[in-house]
Amino acid sequence: MNLDFLTIDVGTILFTLINTFIIFLVFKHLLFKRVDDILEKRRQEVTTTYQEADTALASAKADQEKYTAALAGAKEEAAQIRTRAEQRARQQSDNILEDARREAQAAREKAMQDTEREKEQARTELKGEISDLALELAQRIMEKEINKEDHERLIGDFLQEIDTAGEGGKA
């Protein structure tokens, strides 16, 4: 038995609606939902991967900055060390020069003092010799007229005068 070639059959329409609904469910759950899920999962994975890459990049940059900073610090330290060494060397040379100058000064002062002392000594000796010489000369000139004590006093006065004159001349 066949239906007419062109007929409207309620049963077929109902069955077709049900069948279409079943195919729709099959498509929705077997195809679209599964693929949607996997696409979403992949999207999330991609997002995660990008985030991880960003994090890694940021950490690498931070490391780089840290090393650059450390390198700069090392350079600065080296410069400081050099500067300090230069300063110390200059200080030392200055000290040496200063010592040398001081020693030279001391030597010169000592030499001057020595000279002065010798001069004084020489002057004292000369004074003694002059007095002896004068005494002897006076003894020889006026042997019997004046006793020895008077002579010595006279000469002492004379020498005193000379001395005073000498000191006045020196001053």
Partner 1 sequence: MHITDFLRGSPDGIDVKGPGVLCSFDIAGVTINLTETVVISWGIILAVTLLLAWLTHDLKTKDISKRQVVAEWIVTTVYGLVEDSMGKRWRWFAPYIGALFTFSITGSLVSMIGLRSVTADFNAPLAWALVTFVFIHGTNIKTHGLGGYLKGYIDPVPVMLPINVLSEVSTPVSMSLRHFGNVVSGMVITSLLYFALSVVTKSIGVAFLTIGVPAVLSLYFDLFSGFMQAFVFIMLTMAYISNADGRQEA
Binding-site ranges for partner 1 (CB under 8 A): 1-17, 19-20, 22-24, 26-28, 30-32, 34-39, 41-42, 45
6: DSSP letter: S
CA-based torsion, 153, 154, 157, 159: positive or negative: negative
Tell the smallest beta-carbon distance from residue 34 to partner 1 (Å).
4
- Structure token digits, residue 26: 């099959």
- Structure token digits, residue 114: 């020595």
Q: Please give the Cα distance from 22 to 162 (Å, whole number).
A: 155
In three-state secondary structure terms, 18 is helix
Tell the smallest beta-carbon distance from residue 8 to partner 1 (Å).
6
- Residue closer to partner 1 by CB (options 44, 80) is 44
- Residue closer to partner 1 by CB (options 7, 147) is 7
- Structure token digits, residue 6: 């062109």
Tell the smallest beta-carbon distance from residue 9 to partner 1 (Å).
5
Q: Which helix (H) or strand (E) holds 113?
A: helix 33-141
In three-state secondary structure terms, 153 is helix
- Residue closer to partner 1 by CB (options 1, 171) is 1
In three-state secondary structure terms, 22 is helix
- Residue closer to partner 1 by CB (options 28, 108) is 28
- Structure token digits, residue 25: 């469910």
Tell the smallest beta-carbon distance from residue 49 to partner 1 (Å).
10
- Residue closer to partner 1 by CB (options 31, 85) is 31
Tell the smallest beta-carbon distance from residue 46 to partner 1 (Å).
9
Per this entry, what is the length of the chain?
A: 171
